[in-house]
């Protein structure tokens, strides 16, 4: 019989073709094995008839009739006669003597009956020396004892009742799981055991094994941790064995492992060729490398790495297939989630970058650093915007400094609550509204009052702070304040905040509030510093401390120009931690 080789073009690419290929190969294998077995039968018959002496010796050994037994050990000859059950022989003695050949724990029990004929206990008549647990004694050391004496946990675990039922009903016990618990030397011990039993005339033969050996438990744990499982397919008998790990992967009943053709039904259509190449290679006696194949399990796609190995006989031909599968589905899910997170992070980064760019362009357009027209009025101006983070988007801090048509200089600074484009939009709205109101010739208090009504009338607007004022021809500052820190005045080496008895509430907080205007005469060399609260607010520190620190910094830089003064303040600002953006406007009277 010839097997297909992996990689050939005629490998099936559909499930029906793959199943047909497997069935053909298995049928050919079985036919070939049967043919060779039949060829060996005449040879075996010839050997049997060619040696009369061997034939007579075999007959003597199996029948117990007198004959040449000098070539057999005495024990073997005795066992052979015992098995016959002829008069004068005790078959139970033969059974007892053969107990040691049973590879699992075994005992021959005699029932103990009460007056009514009910079974109350058993007596251990014979046993072997196989221990089912390190703390349980071998049944061979308990011969002659009552069963409940040797196994006191048999009553509470239901084992005694199950054995009695076997004896009275004649129905064999086939794999009863018993959670056997017993107190030994003051300590409770437990062992899950699997019991088998059958009645033998007036006796009961029972065997038991650990329900799970330590090696099996470790194997199950390893399969679970590694998401692995294995399957064994006997191609000659058709018997299939799966590990619990493979049942877990395919979510199948542990009593119903899939045949190779049933496994083909679960493979995705696009993966048939990969599975066909793997199975064909194993059937050809090869051991292919790990192959990644996707299966559909109850509507869910599961990705498995599958490794195949042929199980060959002494003739080198594979009579069984062994497959090991490693479930990569959780890893694939994690990778997909990671990729989606990375894509979302990149999208948000690009969005934030675009927002910062737009906000920066808007701020550059809205907040020029100074105006040459103000120099004609005898004022030198410098301004700065200080983000809390170097790459942060701009927020709602703003200033306004320009020459009006009547020859006065408009000075204003404000802070619209929030960050990002929304705050920039509110800042622009308030700044442009103030520019329009300034053309009316109204006082600083009147403009602030009107702007407050504008903010209060907008349901979507948020509160804001602002200082607005004029410097007239006589170098007098007329200013109003809506919830904003008062400006600092540096005169010579002295620095002090402007009197703030007339301060009003935040914009948008109290509709109908009338803001007042205060007056401050200015002298040549005076420097006014307008700032937002981000300059003086620090985490865990009162704002008055921040104003005091700013005042000292302003005094220490006496004699410097507005630009130089702001540079010193900015250097100090960047060395400390701030939670908010900030804006500065320095105006010096020449």
Residue pLDDT, tens place only, 342-369: 888 888 888 877 776 666 565 555 555 5
The CATH classification number of 90-211 equals 3.30.450.20
Give φ, ψ of 486 to 5 degrees. -65, 150
Q: Which run of H or E residues covers position 412? A: strand 409-419
How many beta carbons lie within 10 A of that of residue 489, not counting itself? Answer: 21
Asked if 366 contacts 398 with a C-beta cutoff of 8 angstroms, the reply is yes
Q: Are 287 and 270 in contact (CB under 8 A)?
A: no
Assigned architecture for domain 367-589? 4-Layer Sandwich (3.60)
Distance CA 227, CA 330 (A): 9
498, 517 in Cβ contact below 8 A? Answer: no
pLDDT at 42: 61
Beta-sheet strands, E only, within 201-281: 203-210, 228-234, 240-242
pLDDT, residue 361, reads 63
Terminal CA-CA length for the chain: 109
| Pairwise CA distance, residues 100 & 94, whole Å | 11
The closest of 535, 563, 540 to 551, measured between CA atoms, is: 535
Which pLDDT score, from 0 to 100, does residue 557 have?
92
pLDDT of residue 265: 93
What whole-number distance in Å separates Cα of residue 585 and Cα of residue 567? 12
What pLDDT shows up at residue 432?
Answer: 85
Backbone angles phi, psi at 460, to 5 degrees: -90, -10
DSSP-assigned letters across all residues of 180-216: EEEEETTEEEEEEEEEEEEEETTEEEEEEEESS-HHH
Task: Report how far residue 269's alpha carbon sits from residue 534's, in angstroms, rounded to the nearest whole number.
Answer: 63
- Domain boundaries of the chain, sorted by first residue: 15-47+219-327, 90-211, 367-589
- Name the one residue in this structure whose structure tokens are 């073709």: 17
Q: Please state whether the predicted TM-score (pTM) of the whole model is above 0.75.
A: no
Name residues of the chain where pLDDT drops below 70.
1-9, 40-90, 212-226, 356-371, 388-395, 419-421, 574-579
Residue 35 confidence (pLDDT):
83
The phi and psi torsions of 28 (rounded to 5 degrees) equal: -65, -40
CATH number for the segment(s) 15-47+219-327:
3.30.450.20
Domain 15-47+219-327 identical in fold to domain 90-211: yes
- Alpha-carbon distance of 382 to 147, in angstroms, equals 103
User: Taking a C-beta distance cutoff of 8 angstroms, is the pair 133, 104 a contact?
Assistant: no
What pLDDT sits at residue 350? 85
What secondary structure, in 3-state letters, does 225-267 show?
HHCEEEEEEECCCCCEEECHHHHHHHCCCCCCCCCHHHHHHHE
The confidence score (pLDDT) of residue 58 equals 33
């Amino acid at each position: 019989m010839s097997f297909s080789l992996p990689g050939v073009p005629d490998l099936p690419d559909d499930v029906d073709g793959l199943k047909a290929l497997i069935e053909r190969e298995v049928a050919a294998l079985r036919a070939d094995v049967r043919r060779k077995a039949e060829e060996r039968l005449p040879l075996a018959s010839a050997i049997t008839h060619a040696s009369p002496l061997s034939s007579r010796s075999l007959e003597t050994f199996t029948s117990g009739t007198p004959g040449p037994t000098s070539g057999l050990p005495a024990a073997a000859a005795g066992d052979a006669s015992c098995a016959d059950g002829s008069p004068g022989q005790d078959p139970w003695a033969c059974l007892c003597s053969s107990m040691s050949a049973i590879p699992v724990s075994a005992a021959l029990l005699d029932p103990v009956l009460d007056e009514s004929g009910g079974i109350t206990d058993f007596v251990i008549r014979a046993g072997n020396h196989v221990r089912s647990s390190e703390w349980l004694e071998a049944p061979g050391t308990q011969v002659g004892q009552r069963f409940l004496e040797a196994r006191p946990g048999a009553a509470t675990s239901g084992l005694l009742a199950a054995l009695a039922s076997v004896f009275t009903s004649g129905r064999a016990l086939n794999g009863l799981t018993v959670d056997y618990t017993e107190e030994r030397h003051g300590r409770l011990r437990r062992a899950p055991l699997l019991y088998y039993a059958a009645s033998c005339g007036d006796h009961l033969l029972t065997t038991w094994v650990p329900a799970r050996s330590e090696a099996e438990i470790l194997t199950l744990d390893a399969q679970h941790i590694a998401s692995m499982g294995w399957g064994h397919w006997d191609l000659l008998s058709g018997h299939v064995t799966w590990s619990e790990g493979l049942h877990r992967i395919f979510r199948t009943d542990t009593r119903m492992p899939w045949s190779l053709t049933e496994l083909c039904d679960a493979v995705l259509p696009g993966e048939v060729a990969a599975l066909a190449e793997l199975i064909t290679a194993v059937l050809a006696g090869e051991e292919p490398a790990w192959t990644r194949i996707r299966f559909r399990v109850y509507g869910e796609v599961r990705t498995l790495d599958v490794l195949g190995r042929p199980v060959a006989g002494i003739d080198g031909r594979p009579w069984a297939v062994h497959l090991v599968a490693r479930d990569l589905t959780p890893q694939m899910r994690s990778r997909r989630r990671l990729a989606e997170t990375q894509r979302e992070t990149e999208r948000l980064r690009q969005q934030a970058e675009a927002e910062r760019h737009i906000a920066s362009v808007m701020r550059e357009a809205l907040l020029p650093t100074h105006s040459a027209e103000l120099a004609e009025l005898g004022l030198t101006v410098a301004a700065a915007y200080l983000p809390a983070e170097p790459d942060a988007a701009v927020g709602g801090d703003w200033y306004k400094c320009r020459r009006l048509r009547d020859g006065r200089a408009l000075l204003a600074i404000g802070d619209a609550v929030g960050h990002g484009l929304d705050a920039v939009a509110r800042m622009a709205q308030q700044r442009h509204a103030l520019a329009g109101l300034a053309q009316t010739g109204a006082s600083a208090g009147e403009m602030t009052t009107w702007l407050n009504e504008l903010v209060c009338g907008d349901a979507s607007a948020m509160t804001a702070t602002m200082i607005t004022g004029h410097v007239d021809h006589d170098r007098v500052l007329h200013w109003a304040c809506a919830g904003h820190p008062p400006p600092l005045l540096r005169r010579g080496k002295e620095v002090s905040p402007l009197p703030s008895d007339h301060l009003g509430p935040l914009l948008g907080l109290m509709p109908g509030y009338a803001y007042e205007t205060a007056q401050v005469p200015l002298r040549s060399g005076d420097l006014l510093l307008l700032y937002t609260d981000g300059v003086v607010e620090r985490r865990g520190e009162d704002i008055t401390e921040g104003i005091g620190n700013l005042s000292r910094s302003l005094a220490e830089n006496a004699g410097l120009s507005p630009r130089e003064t702001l540079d010193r303040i900015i250097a100090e600002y960047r060395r400390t931690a701030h939670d908010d953006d900030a804006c500065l406007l320095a105006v010096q009277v020449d």
